[in-house]
Amino acid sequence: MLTPKLFRREIILHAKIATKITPLCPHAPPSDMCGGCTFQDISYTDQITAKTSALVALWADMLPAQIPAPVVIGSPDPLHYRTRMDFIASKGRFGLRRGGKFNYIIDLTTCHLVPTEGFDIARNIWEQAIAAGVPDYNLRTHEGILRYIVVRRSPDNRYLLALITAAPDENAEAALAAIAQAALANPAIVGIHWLRNDSPSDVSFGTPFKHWGAALLPMRVGPNTLHIGPNTFFQNNVYLLDDMLAHIAAAVPAGQHVADLYGGVGTIALHLAQSAQSVHCVESFAESIELCNANILSNQRTNVTAEVADVAEFLKSTDRAFDTIVVDPPRVGLGAQVCKEILRHRPQRLVYVSCNPLSQIEDAKLLAAGYELTSLVGYDMFPQTPHFETLAIFDRRP
């Protein structure tokens, strides 16, 4: 099995690095290139060519002769596309890690992956916090308070921010409260959360501590509006999500009973509700299912249900029959147990969205006992990086 490192090298190899362009951040030499945009000095056309070639090479031994070679669909805009950016505050710098260097933070004065306004909002809050005597966090010594400022952005360019800190002192509590309340004067900011991560673990999530303004960010997706919180997963390319959802919907015949596994806040389930007879959303993260149920109600969908459950345990225990199962697992993929249960349930079709082509193809080998790949396409949800997503459709063998 190709490792992630080798697969990334395969993508770079296919790029041939023939068309070198001025990096997005020309103030930094290539050795100091920000880890958020490791392909920023390769033309976007070559990025898509490289990812398509790597995807074809990865599936070469498993691609049925009757289906066309897969392509990776490019983002309509390869910049300012992200719905979430996690900016690190550490040792007097605000930005992202240098590629391959965990403890080295590139101090950014701009970021091309979110709108300029979104970056400026986050950097200004960091600067105000430092000026107010709130120390940022030292990744080596684990001293300091302010660890991350997370920007969540809607298709309408509204923002929900999260300040992730270690345990604060009295000065930090007063300073961050004043800064957050003042920031809400900007009409583009709907709300600001303060999340606590008192552990040494370097993660940009935390336990809710305080919040100002709205608690949730409305995300307009097709005919639906979905609300997300500071900790909940949501697809990260604001320009390609509608296209990918349309492709998923086209793969699910009307009037079917559908399971949406790893369903998050209901993005796919609510989109399929327009034509499905019923959709059942399963997700192990309780906060996401709470939001999913609220989204079902607010979008007035009476044919969608949701439950908190581990996907493997749900498939083992349920006696419900589904015509189509849609899965959108984390990077580790489905794994042997979930694949075994899908083979046992034998839905007519499996629609598999993956953010990791390596784990997806390993799952495909297990599913081959009962399913045949009938369609494969890539979506460049992460321009300027070696990452992309794939949408594979498997039909049950006779």
Distances (CA, A) of 79 to 83, 217, 263, 294: 12, 22, 27, 32
The rounded average pLDDT for each run of 10 residues, N- to C-terminus, in the chain (398 residues) is: 60 59 61 74 89 91 92 97 96 86 84 96 98 94 96 97 96 97 98 96 93 97 95 93 97 98 98 98 97 98 98 97 97 97 98 95 97 98 93 97
pLDDT of residue 139: 87
Q: Which fold has domain 84-215?
A: OB fold (Dihydrolipoamide Acetyltransferase, E2P) (2.40.50)
Q: Is 142 helix (H, G, I), strand (E, B) or coil?
A: coil
- Where helices occur in 136-262 by DSSP H, the ranges are 170-183, 241-250
pLDDT of residue 16: 54
**Beta-bridge partner residues of 153:** 159
pTM score of the predicted model: 0.93
Give which of 163, 153, 119, 281 is closest to 228, Cα–Cα: 153
> Where do the domains of the chain lie?
84-215
Q: Is 169 helix (H, G, I), strand (E, B) or coil?
A: coil
Convert the pLDDT of each residue in 247-288 to its tens digit.
999 999 999 999 999 999 999 999 999 999 999 999 999 999
**Cα–Cα distance for residue pair 303/106, rounded to 1 Å:** 48
pLDDT of residue 34: 76
**Cα–Cα distance for residue pair 209/227, rounded to 1 Å:** 20
Q: Is 58 exposed, middle or buried (0-12, 13-18, 19+ CB in 10 A)?
A: buried
Q: Is 97 exposed, middle or buried (0-12, 13-18, 19+ CB in 10 A)?
A: middle
Q: Is 148 helix (H, G, I), strand (E, B) or coil?
A: strand
H or E stretch including 313?
helix 311-317
pLDDT of residue 270: 98
Burial 190-219 (b: 16+ CB within 10 A, else e): bbbbbbbbeeeeeebebeebebbebebbbb
pLDDT of residue 18: 47
Convert the pLDDT of each residue in 203-222 to its tens digit.
999 999 999 999 999 999 99
